[in-house]
Amino acid sequence: MSRSRADLYLDYLMSVRNLSEATVKAYRRDIGSFLDWIDAAGVSESSVDLEAVRGFVGHLSREKAATATINRAISALKGYFRFQMRQGFISASPFDGVRGMKRSGNLPNFLFEDEIKQVVAVEGDGFSRRRDRAIFEVLYSTGCRVGELVKMNTGDVDRSRGRILVHGKGRKDRIVFIGREARTALSDYLAMRLERLRVAGRLEEPAVFLNLQNIRLTQRGVASILERRMTETGIVKHTSPHTFRHSFATHVLDHGADIRVVQELLGHASLSTTQVYTHLGLGRLKEIYAQAHPHAAVRTRSEAGFGTTSREAAGFAAAGKSDVPDSGDAESTDGIRK
């Protein structure tokens, strides 16, 4: 019975809530792990209580599950038991009042503006070089997720208006914008893409970004392209395609964008998710304060001859680190990258 209830709930998430396939898959795994755990513990689903809930969370902790993973499991199970209450299967949820674990204070890793310039400046006129530059420019210009990038079709791109229709998480579409550099790089790439598909007799291919076999590029493919590019640039910093999203949000906020506008551009459902990117904005305030207050003046590394800009120094100070921030990609409490 419990498995059929779980299937009903997962079907509800897909058909009614319109959650993405990846999110539903994660929830299926979390609910399945819980049901397996209580079964092994000799606890029936109808008799699950707060003690059993705490036992399961403790089990995940002992298994060294990440905080985001544990919080996602709690979120999935809260929703699952609320669904059962609405359906009349149970009268009360054992997860009522259960709160997620406090998330780590780690800030999302990002590239500074001069580093972004190095990464996107891919030289060469071959297909792969034009494609790679277009990928990096679009990721940085739009702040879209890599999963959204690889799903882009040519019909989603409106170069004349400088915007792209992005198909986001939870099947929520939004409009993102491409700046001058991204528009130029994309136009150069699309011209060569069209010629390759014409020669291959595959003009019906809708995908914007293709691999060398002229089929849709995958997320792993984009990650490999970035790995090679980082080696070329010599920038030693942990990066992933998601780093461009972090960098986009950090930079536009640092240049004065309203946080709610950034929330819309990123496609975040909650403003609290976007607020993590205000760290460099605080760094900018610290920099201005240090320059303006007579008793707060500090020498930056550049002034001391070490070559770091005052903006970078402020960013380090805000992050509470003496070196470049190098934390993992930010994740939501449901464990899905933002």
Torsion angles phi and psi, residue 333, rounded to 5: -70, -10
User: Which active-site residues does the annotation give?
Assistant: 145, 169, 242, 245, 268, 277
CATH number, domain containing residue 15: 1.10.150.130
- 254 lies in the same domain as 125: yes
Identify the pLDDT of residue 269.
Answer: 72
CATH number, domain containing residue 262: 1.10.443.10
One DSSP character per residue, 245-300 reads: HHHHHHHHHHTT--HHHHHHHHT-S-HHHHGGGGHHHHHHHHHHHHHH-TTT----
- 80 lies in the same domain as 152: no
Domain count, the chain: 2
Q: The tokens of 265 are what? A: 């551009």
- 123 lies in the same domain as 253: yes
Identify the pLDDT of residue 74.
Answer: 92
CB-based burial label for 219 (10 Å; 0-12, 13-18, 19+): middle
Task: Determine, yes or no, domain membership for 106.
Answer: no
Choose the final residue of a domain: 250, 266, 282.
266
d(CA 237, CA 227): 11
Cβ contact 286:317 at 8 Å: yes
User: Residue 30: which domain range?
Assistant: 2-86
Q: Per-residue confidence of the chain (338 residues) as pLDDT tens digits?
A: 445 889 999 999 888 887 778 788 989 999 999 999 999 999 888 888 899 999 999 999 898 888 888 988 998 999 999 999 999 888 889 988 888 777 655 556 788 899 999 999 999 999 999 999 999 999 999 999 999 999 999 999 999 899 999 998 777 889 999 999 999 999 999 999 999 999 999 999 999 999 999 999 999 999 999 999 999 999 988 899 989 988 888 888 888 888 888 888 888 777 766 766 665 455 555 655 666 666 665 544 444 343 444 344 333 333 333 333 333 333 333 333 44
- 153 lies in the same domain as 261: yes
Give the N- to C-terminal CA distance of the chain in Å, as an integer. Answer: 34
The DSSP H or E segment spanning 175 is strand 173-177
- 76 lies in the same domain as 191: no
d(CA 74, CA 20): 18
If phi > 0 it is left, if psi is from -120 to 50 it is alpha, else beta; for residue 335 that is: left
SS3 50: helix
Task: Determine, yes or no, domain membership for 105.
Answer: no
Task: Determine, yes or no, domain membership for 326.
Answer: no
d(CA 30, CA 73): 5
Query: How crowded is residue 34: how many other Cβ atoms within 10 Å of its Cβ?
Result: 25
d(CA 273, CA 5): 31
- 119 lies in the same domain as 248: yes
Query: At which residue do the structure tokens 């949000």 appear?
Result: 249
Task: Determine, yes or no, domain membership for 205.
Answer: yes
SS3 177: strand
Task: Determine, yes or no, domain membership for 236.
Answer: yes
CA 127 from centroid of its chain's CA atoms: 27
- 119 lies in the same domain as 10: no
* Nearest Cα residue to 148 out of 201, 75, 219, 251: 219
Choose the final residue of a domain: 266, 288, 318.
266
Choose the final residue of a domain: 68, 86, 104.
86
Task: Determine, yes or no, domain membership for 253.
Answer: yes
DSSP state of 202: -
Task: Determine, yes or no, domain membership for 190.
Answer: yes
Burial state string for 243-276 with b = 16 or more CB within 10 A and e = fewer than 16: bbbbbbbbbbbbeeeeeeebbebbbbeeeebbeb
The alpha carbon torsion through 58, 61, 63, 64 (nearest 10 deg) reads: -170
DSSP state of 171: G
d(CA 212, CA 217): 9
- 186 lies in the same domain as 78: no
Identify the pLDDT of residue 323.
Answer: 36
The DSSP H or E segment spanning 165 is strand 163-167
Task: Determine, yes or no, domain membership for 43.
Answer: yes
* Nearest Cα residue to 277 out of 301, 255, 310: 255
- 171 lies in the same domain as 251: yes
The DSSP H or E segment spanning 157 is strand 157-158
